Structure 1
Amino acid sequence: MVLNIGIIGTNWITHSYVECAQATQKWNLAAVYSRKEESAKEFASKYEGQKIALYTDLDKFYADPNLNAVYIASPNILHYEQAKAALNAGKHVILEKPSCSTSQELDELFALSKSKGLFLIEAWRHIQEVNFKILKQSISKIGRVLGASITFCQFSSRYDAVLKGEVPNIFNLEMGGGALVDMGCYTVAAAVWLFGAPKDAQYYPVIISTGADGGGTLTLHYEGFTVHLASSKMHTSEAPSEIYGEKASLIVPTITDIERVTLSDPRTKKKEELGAKKVDLNLKEEAEEQARIILEEDWKAAGELEAHSRAVLKVTEKVRRDNGLLFPGGK
């Protein structure tokens, strides 16, 4: 069976997701929603030969009987209401990160999805990548974990707009923006998938002129060790990410799109390459697993992803509140 999917959000990440999803041969783009008809037509035009319904009315989009699922990549602040409407319309939901503004909103969505017998899956691409899985499996090789540092800093051209006095959505708290929920959530998601939910967390943000965070440092506290996370949309960093252990360390050049996993022994000074060849389409592994979960009705795997999404949001929501970085739904 092939799942017919409709998309909300016609930006670059949506194109990337659709390309990768269709490459699995388990997804088919069947509908596009955009507020502007021109944007919907332009998006659909890139998929010649496919029958794609175009909508500028969300209610009609949700009511399309041909859709099995909806992929939501709209501005962050719209995720909750749009996911809720899609679930009420009987569609599975693939929800781009960050899922919601508050844990209460996410609780409501998961409760609704279960009551409808539908899947709600947050789109964490990196934890499904082959080399991320190798990284996680290899933690047993380093002995007792002593700590970790995870970095994801990538300059955004929209920061230049901020410097000119503008307030783009991604740096606007009213739209659910900020570096933590855009870039930092990848580092939190990585740590939680590798080590579980932390006992406590503190965030030290760099507040910019819009009132949002342009970057910052986050510490996650576990029993016996601490994980340091760095994220920013104001600059790009080439610093690797590393997990330190009593026997050895694991090093990856990036925390997403990981090209190699290196095991470094401090005693012998030897380095062993553990990684595999990464796939060309970096969202394909994610889309493959999402389709598998839905088609096989794998509630166990869905439950693990649900627990992960809950734990990540609990961290980011807590540290935002600590720093007064409040979204409309959380004030």
Structure 2
Amino acid sequence: MIPFGIIGTNWITHSFVAGAHATRKWSLRAVYSRTEASARDFASKYPDSASIALHTQLASLANSPDISTVYIASPNSLHYEHAKQMLQAGKHVVLEKPATCTAAQLHDLFGVAAERGVVLIEAFRHLHEANFKVLKQSLEKLGPVYGASLNYAQYSSRFDAVLRGEWPNIFTLEFGGGALVDLGVYCVAAAVDLFGAPETSAYHPVIVETGADGGGVLVLRYEGFAVSITASKIFGSGAPSEVYGRDGTLTIPTITDIESVVFRASRGERKGVVEGLGGGKEELNLKEEAEDYARIIEEKDFREVERWRKVSEGVIGVTEKCRKENGLLFPVEREQPGKGEGTTGIIGGV
């Protein structure tokens, strides 16, 4: 099994560990946290906690001979420095989305990974779901693609904190937050994996009191069609995601945790026929990605690493450009960081 450590002791990390252990290809051997109490509390959730090493220094984790791989789910703004330190130490890295704040940081990390001969992969969990793969394989049913609508709008309880005058990380540019890079990135990644990097992109955000984007509409232009993306953490929506073509429409109810794929024929002898594709969703929603990553790491499948690198580069090419065009700058992009500095758009609503 792959002996791995984790950085980031939050719910998503527990989900990854659960999914990874369920594959029987991973074994949690180390936990890093800024405090030993937090690390111990995380490790205590697992039956073999006594054999899990606790680290409060990144250098200690990086230099540990007991792990080969590190899963990183720290705050977005810390991804780059955490991943670079692990890669330089010769560890494989699974890096939660968004991998980095800028394309330059991402390029640097992939360069370090190549120099050390290790795997770096961004954790776009939904792209590894069985039903997303069914969606991708079924595009040929559509004939020429005419467009797509991809949606991820989910009200966040942390927006209540914003309305109380607080600054949660996910709504703070200082920590690399905002709806586009938090939820919108799922839709952008799906579009890039399905269709490749777009020719052009334009983002129309709603800016909240923290100066970050709470939601917005993104349009990706491809040759002959466009993809509309609605992403939000300040309002919810039950709208499905769809891909339209000459011969029909493919529909999924959600962009992640996809329960079904449906094809509706729009012409010819099968006009009006509704066809269910794929099967039910995996109960542990990070198990499928953990399975794929284990194979890539075990086999050192750098051809597959390169494929996923292109997806990551396509995604950050969109998100970085669209953020900058709307003045949504992260600290690394500003000479003098400050709360709400350099933001434009709609404040608090239309």
Shorter-chain-normalised TM-score: which range? over 0.9
- State the TM-score, normalized to the length of structure 2: 0.93
| 1:18 aligned counterpart, secondary structure | helix
Counterpart Cα distance in 2 of 1:276 and 1:330: 44
1:1-331 to structure 2, matched below 5 A, reads: 2-50=1-49, 51-267=51-267, 268-331=271-334
Deviation at 1:155, TM superposition (A): 1.2
Q: Hey, what does 2:343 align to over in structure 1?
A: none
Q: What CA distance in whole angstroms lies between the structure 2 residues aligned with 1:314 and 1:24? A: 33
RMSD: 0.8
One-letter amino acid of the counterpart of residue 221, structure 1: R
CA distance in 2, matches of 1:274, 1:87: 40
Opposite residue 132 of structure 1, the aligned amino acid is F
What's the secondary structure of 1:137's corresponding residue? helix
CA distance in 2, matches of 1:49, 1:144: 53
1:330 Cα deviation after fit: 2.0
Aligned-partner residue type, residue 15 of structure 2: S
Matched length? 330
* Runs ≥4 residues deviating over 4 A: none
Distance in 1 separating the partners of 2:333 and 2:98: 14
Paired with 1:241 and 1:279, the residues of 2 have a C-alpha distance of 19
1:276 Cα deviation from its structure 2 partner? 1.5
Q: Distance in 1 between matches of 2:6 and 2:54?
A: 10
Secondary structure of the equivalent of 2:45? Answer: coil
Secondary structure of the corresponding residue to residue 100 of structure 2 = coil
How far the C-alpha of 1:328 sits from its partner, in A, is 1.1
Deviations 1:265-312 (A, max 9, x none): 134222110122222111111001111001011111111001100110
Distance 2:239 2:200 in 1: 25
Tell me, in whole angstroms, the C-alpha distance in 2 between the residues paired with 1:210 and 1:281.
34
Write the deviation string for residues 229-253 of structure 1: whole angstroms up to 9, x where unpaired.
0000012211001100011000110
Could you tell me how far apart the structure 1 residues matched to 2:122 and 2:306 are? 12
Deviations 1:201-239 (A, max 9, x none): 000000000000000000000000000000000122110
Q: Which runs of 5+ in 2 are unaligned?
A: 335-350
Query: What secondary structure does 2:37 align onto?
Result: helix
Q: TM (normalized to structure 1)?
A: 0.98
Partner SS, residue 234 of structure 1: coil
Q: For 1:32, give the aligned amino acid.
A: V
Task: Quote how far apart the aligned CAs of 1:260 are.
Answer: 0.6
AA at the equivalent of 2:16: Y
> Aligned letter for 1:323?
N
Aligned counterparts of 1:5 and 1:156: Cα–Cα separation in 2: 31
Partner SS, residue 235 of structure 1: coil
